[in-house]
Amino acid sequence: MELRIGIADNPQPITVNLPDDADRENIKASVEAALNGKVPVLWLTDDKGREIAVTASRVTHVEMGPPGSHPIGFG
């Protein structure tokens, strides 16, 4: 599943490929907590096990792709 995170003052969003078995509701709750200022950092783990931290106050928007979606091509 692909997750795109818009960051303030950055023209390109961060793209994170999450594992196919990622819990959508848990991810949504984490994103919502970050957007509401309840947590200072949004932590995510990608499909290769890398942990990504995003300062919650800099998040402008989040786009979540459908389950099992993987982009194809270059980039």
Query: Contact at 8 Å (CB) between 56 and 35?
Result: yes
Max CA distance (Å), the chain = 37
Give the pLDDT score at 20. 85
Give the pLDDT score at 74. 61
**φ/ψ of residue 13, rounded to 5:** -75, 160
pTM for this one?
0.81
Q: What is the pLDDT along the chain (75 residues), one digit of tens a residue?
A: 899 999 999 999 999 999 988 899 999 999 999 999 999 999 999 999 999 999 999 999 999 988 765 555 565
* Helix runs in the chain, H state only: 24-35
Which residue, 24, 5, 27, 1, is CA-closest to 15? Answer: 5
